[in-house]
């Protein structure tokens, strides 16, 4: 920055300081206009006032910029979480130009105009910075969600005393298999279950890799003394498995989870009887 | 025609989803959809595991009244020195079940395997509507 530039920059910053309230009012007004009531005015006011003060402070001290960047990163993070687009987030910063320009116009001085150009460059940099911070925040959210999904998508549920089930949904890759296997084996130990049902209704395609992962999981459960049943084999999956030439050997497979449960119950000696057989005849009469 | 690059496991999933979408558009039966998607999954993973990545090309082709889905998987990997052995059920160089390549051949209607050691591999498969 040349001497002349920094003096005109100081001039415009003084002007902004003098008119702080008016400037913040106008800034909030302009930046909130495209958001149409998705934000609370008083919150935005506080945010923008802090930003403005940090911006004015940043040129006074050498490390003032860190403070400002911190505030901007916070703003980007909260906006990313609230579902704003990166454009809307950056706009909150860029609209400061418009608000300041009104002050410049009212002042009319040439030096202030020079200062405005310098300030405008700084605002551009800050706007781009919010963009970067926004992207980083989004990526963090996505990474967190992926991890959560991995945890959420592999529940081991107890169907009956001694029977647990793992409903698999989505793609079964090595990472998922690892999680499923660990959880299943641990649940088998914790509940002392003898039967484990692996339901693949939610797995869109069973290729050799998925089959291999399934076989490994079944083998591991067997080593722990549990009986494994694979259920949810739909017609198209059965076709594909046969054509591929995958052999499930002596592993019990069933079309539906209900069949698998019935099988496991029968094997463990539980008998399910219909208490109200009359219901069937009532229906027949109505028909 | 759609060109996709395969460089990670996520790309294999994307290839699978695109192939499924095209198969549905084409009106393949549910069984045929699943078969061609599974074949695509096997072949895409092969380029990843054996060649460290490659390209997938999805294309709708026409033969008289019949329409079909043609998939081309190409890579610049080490290639296959013994094609007969590679197409033998149960033989695997990558620690798998050894059914990927041979099984894919059975899952589709047309299958061509073009490979020279050191030059890479191109697998072309086609599934026709019935």
Looking at beta carbons, which residues of chain A come within 8 Å of B38?
Answer: 205-207, 240, 244
The answer, yes or no, to whether residue A287 has pLDDT greater than 80, is no
Interface residues on B facing A, Cβ-Cβ cutoff 8 A: 9, 13, 16, 20, 30-31, 33-35, 37-38, 41-42, 45, 89, 96-97, 99-100, 102-104, 106-107
B7: confidence class by pLDDT, cuts 50, 70, 90:
very high
Report the C-alpha gap between A112 and A53 in whole angstroms.
19
From the candidates B10, B99, B105, which should be mutated to test the interface with A, based on the most A CB atoms within 10 A? B99
Contact flag B103-A243 (C-beta cutoff 8 Å): yes
Comma-separated ranges of CATH 1.10.490 domains in chain A: 3-146
Q: Which of B9, B42, B102 sits opposite A207 (nearest CB)?
A: B42
- Residue numbers in A near B9 (CB within 8 A): 173
Quick one: average pLDDT of B23-32?
92
- The pLDDT tens digits for A202-238 are 888 888 888 988 898 899 999 989 999 999 999 999 9
Cα distance from B109 to chain A (closest Cα, Å)? 12
Q: Give the CB-side neighbour count of residue A132, counting CA atoms within 13 A.
A: 8
Say which residue, A147 or A232, is predicted with more confidence.
A232
Could you say which architecture CATH assigns to the domain A157-267? 2-Layer Sandwich (3.30)
CB proximity A78 to B under 8 Å: no
What span, in angstroms and rounded, lies between the C-alpha atoms of A45 and A25?
8
pLDDT score at A286: 47
Residue A161 neighbours by CB distance under 10 Å: 11
Average pLDDT over residues A77-102: 86
Please give the pLDDT value at position A153: 66
Residue B43: per-residue pLDDT: 94
DSSP code of A193? -
- Give me the residue label for tokens 């405008």: A120
Residue in chain A closest to B17 (alpha carbons) equals A204
Strand order in the sheet with A157-160: A157-160, A163-169, A195-202, A227-231, A252-253
pLDDT at B91 over 80: yes
Torsion sign across C-alpha atoms A100, A101, A105, A107? positive
* A245: nearest CB among B37, B96, B102: B102
Residue by residue, DSSP assigns A12-63 as HHHHHHHTHHHHHHHHHHHHHGGGTTSS-HHHHHHHHHHHHHHHHHHTTSTT
Q: Does domain A3-146 have CATH number 1.10.490?
A: yes
Model confidence at A26: pLDDT above 70: yes
Taking alpha carbons only, the member of A55, A54, A34, A31 closest to residue A43 is: A31
* A173 has a chain B CB within 8 A of its CB: yes
Residues 195-254 of A with CB under 8 A from B: 204-209, 211-212, 235-237, 239-240, 243-246
Asked if the ipTM is above 0.90, the reply is no
Q: What is the pLDDT, as a whole number, of residue A34? A: 80
From the list A217, A123, A233, the residue with the least C-alpha distance to A174 is A217
Is-contact B87 B101, C-beta < 8 A? yes
Question: Does position A283 have pLDDT exceeding 60, yes or no?
Answer: no
Interface size A-B, in CB pairs within 8 Å, comes to 63
pLDDT confidence band for A109 (50 / 70 / 90): confident
Q: Where in chain A is the domain with CATH 3.30.750.24?
A: 157-267
What residue of A is the nearest CA neighbor of B94? A209
Percent of chain B with pLDDT over 70: 100
Tokens for B116, please give them.
């020279």
Cα dihedral value A272, A276, A277, A283, nearest 10: -130
Mutate to test the interface with B, among A208, A239, A246 (most CBs of B within 10 A): A208
Distance from C-alpha of B100 to C-alpha of A244, rounded to nearest angstrom: 7
A170, A237, A244, A246: which to substitute to probe chain B, counting the most B Cβ within 10 Å?
Answer: A244
Q: Which range among A73-87, A105-119, B11-25, B90-104 has the greatest average pLDDT? A: B11-25
Q: Which residues pair with A47 in a beta bridge?
A: none
Q: What percent of chain A has pLDDT over 90?
A: 23
pLDDT surpassing 80 at residue A182 = yes
Q: What is the mean pLDDT of residues B4-11?
A: 90
Helix axes A86-107, A20-32, angle to 10 degrees: 140
Which residues on chain B are in Cβ contact (under 8 Å) with A237? 34
Over residues B39-53, the mean pLDDT reads 92
Using a CB-CB cut-off of 8 Å, the residues of chain B touching A235 are 30-31
> Once rounded to an integer, what is the mean pLDDT over residues B73-100?
88
Average of per-residue pLDDT across A146-151: 72
Predicted local distance difference test score (pLDDT) of residue A3 = 74
Contact A78, A32 (CB under 8 A): no
Q: What is the pLDDT of residue A151?
A: 66
Instruction: List, for residues A44-81, the tens digit of each pLDDT value.
Output: 888 888 888 888 888 777 666 788 888 888 888 888 88
Q: Which of A26-30, A143-147, B53-57, B109-113 has the lowest mean pLDDT?
A: A143-147
More confidently predicted of A287 and A12:
A12
């Amino acid at each position: 920055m040349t001497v002349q530039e920094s003096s005109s920059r100081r001039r415009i910053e003084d002007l902004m300081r003098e008119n702080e309230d008016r400037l913040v009012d106008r800034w909030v007004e302009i930046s909130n206009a495209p958001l149409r009531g998705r934000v609370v005015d008083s919150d935005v006011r506080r945010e923008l006032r802090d930003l403005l003060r940090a911006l004015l402070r940043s040129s006074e001290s050498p490390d003032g910029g860190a403070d400002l960047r911190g505030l901007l990163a916070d703003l980007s993070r909260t906006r990313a979480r609230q579902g704003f687009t990166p454009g809307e987030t950056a706009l909150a910063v860029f609209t400061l130009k418009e608000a300041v320009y009104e002050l410049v116009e009212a002042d009319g001085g040439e030096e202030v105009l020079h200062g405005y150009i310098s300030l405008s460059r700084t605002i551009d940099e800050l706007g781009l910075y919010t963009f970067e911070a926004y992207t980083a925040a989004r990526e963090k959210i996505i990474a967190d969600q992926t991890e959560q999904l991995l945890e959420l998508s592999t529940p081991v549920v107890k169907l009956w005393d001694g029977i647990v089930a793992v409903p698999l949904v989505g793609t079964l890759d090595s990472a998922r298999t690892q999680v499923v296997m660990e959880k299943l084996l641990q649940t088998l130990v914790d509940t002392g279950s003898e039967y484990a049902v692996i339901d693949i209704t939610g797995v869109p395609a069973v290729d050799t890799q998925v089959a291999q992962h399934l076989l490994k999981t079944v083998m591991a459960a067997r080593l722990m003394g549990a009986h494994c049943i694979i259920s949810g084999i739909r017609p198209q999956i059965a076709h594909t498995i046969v054509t591929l030439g995958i052999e499930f050997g002596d592993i019990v497979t069933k079309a539906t989870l209900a069949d698998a449960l019935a099988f496991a119950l029968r094997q463990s000696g539980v008998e399910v009887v219909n208490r109200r057989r009359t219901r069937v005849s009532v229906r027949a009469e109505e028909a | 025609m759609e060109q996709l690059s395969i460089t990670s496991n996520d790309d294999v999933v994307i290839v699978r989803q695109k192939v499924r979408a095209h198969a549905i558009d084409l009106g393949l039966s549910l069984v045929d959809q699943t078969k061609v998607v599974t074949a695509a999954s096997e072949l895409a993973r092969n380029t990843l595991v054996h060649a460290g990545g490659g390209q997938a090309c999805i294309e709708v082709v026409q033969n008289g009244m019949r329409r079909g889905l043609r998939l081309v998987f190409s890579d610049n990997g080490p290639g296959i020195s013994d094609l007969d052995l590679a197409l033998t059920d149960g033989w695997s160089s990558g620690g798998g079940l050894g059914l990927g390549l041979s099984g894919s051949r059975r899952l589709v209607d047309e299958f061509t395997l073009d490979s020279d050691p050191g030059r890479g591999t191109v697998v072309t498969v086609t599934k026709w509507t019935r």
